[in-house]
Structure 1
Amino acid sequence: MSNPVVAERYALALFQVGKEQNATEKMDEELRAIKKVLVQNPGFISLLQSPKLSVEEKRNVILQSFPKVSAPVINTFMLLADRHREDIMVEVAEAYINYLNEERGIAEAVVYSVRPLTADESKAISSVFAPKVGKLTLNIENIVNPDMLGGIKVRIGNRIFDGSLRGKLERLGRQLIS
């Protein structure tokens, strides 16, 4: 079975437990934090995949690394370690976040801009682009890109809305050539 399918199954089980315990929000925050740690520290997963560590040592590393995480989340990650599935920990967190977002009508968006967006600008972007992808609102991650001349570029899933000045100039240049 491929990793995305396996990650989806673990995430769905975790999501169902979260709904039963009315803890989906808390688990969402925890999984976002864990995902951030795992992405910023790829050596952590490499450590867990080491054949020199026993399963019990892997469990202890997970417990010590995330001491304040709820039982269902920590148990899921320890189960992944037990089954030598450490490589899908980030994918499980992402899949859980996607399940919760789907239920809430939220889409994850990355907005590239020349400067950091204000809260009002983020709200305006969300209100304009969320209906375009059939969602109620957007969860925006702002990436500052000083190479952009101006404007913004919005990526929601596999869709890109390019309103940057550089993008407009490139489209104008293509029109003039053709």
Structure 2
Amino acid sequence: MSDNTIIAKRYATALFQLGQEQSKLDVIETELRALRVIFKGNKGLVQFLKHPRLTVDEKKQLLNDSLKDFSKETLHTLMLLIDRHREEIMIDMIDHFILKMNDLKGIADATVYSVNELSDVEKQRISATFAPKVGKRSLNLTNVIDTSIIGGIRLRVGNRIFDGSVSGKLSRIERQLVSQK
């Protein structure tokens, strides 16, 4: 585990504990999810915030102006990261906070690969079927279209993969035939 990951976890844990004490976990989670969308949609934003020509005060002013409706806990954490020149761990910190929230709620993020877009009913059925298998109450599914699986689905929860795709079954049959020779 890299130093940045360890540091990001510490900031996420501190913000999580502060959110618990202030009874603002849901508010902070909503803000951080919105911020994650902003950072992931604008890949150069973190590099911009790390730019040496921007002073710490300019960076703080930019965030204060952009995120003026955010809670003081979230803003204070972001200001600390800027003060300590840790802009590059903002996304990791947000991800770790969301993981802690998901653990608290009994939710896991998962990616489901299918040939076609899944309906909400299909996503709910997949969540209800696989959540108990990974020890969670529900799954927060992201649907990815992948025509190479031919049919069926492939589900990834953390580092676990459940493969019910046609291409996965064909490759298992191929391995069995090759190993029998």
Give the TM-score, by structure 2 length: 0.92
Deviation at 1:67, TM superposition (A): 3.1
Structure 2 counterpart SS, 1:150: coil
Structure 1 counterpart SS, 2:110: strand
Distance in 2 (CA, whole Å) between partners of 1:78 and 1:116 is: 40
Does 100-109 or 21-30 show the bigger shift? 21-30
1:13 aligns to 2:24 (yes or no): no
Residue 133 of structure 2 corresponds to: 132
Distance in 2 (CA, whole Å) between partners of 1:50 and 1:42 is: 14
Deviation at 1:139, TM superposition (A): 1.1
Does 16-25 or 61-70 show the bigger shift? 61-70
Identity %: 46
Deviation at 1:10, TM superposition (A): 0.6
Distance in 2 (CA, whole Å) between partners of 1:68 and 1:148 is: 44
Unpaired segments of 5 or more residues in structure 2? none
Partners of 2:148 and 2:167 within 8 A in 1:
no
* Superposed CA offset, 1:119-170 (max 9, x none): 1111111111111111111111111223331111111111111111111111
Distance in 2 (CA, whole Å) between partners of 1:97 and 1:86 is: 18
Unpaired segments of 5 or more residues in structure 1? none
Distance in 2 (CA, whole Å) between partners of 1:5 and 1:29 is: 23
Residue 120 of structure 1 corresponds to: 121
* Superposed CA offset, 1:40-88 (max 9, x none): 2121000111111100011112223333222211221111011000000
**What does residue range 131-170 of structure 1 map to in structure 2 within 5 Å?**
131-170=132-171
Distance in 1 (CA, whole Å) between partners of 2:67 and 2:116 is: 33
Residue 176 of structure 2 corresponds to: 175
Letter in 2 for 1:121: E
Residue 53 of structure 2 corresponds to: 52
Residue 79 of structure 1 corresponds to: 80
Residue 37 of structure 1 corresponds to: 38
Give the TM-score, by structure 1 length: 0.94
* Superposed CA offset, 1:5-25 (max 9, x none): 111111111111211222211
Distance in 2 (CA, whole Å) between partners of 1:102 and 1:79 is: 25
Distance in 2 (CA, whole Å) between partners of 1:115 and 1:91 is: 31
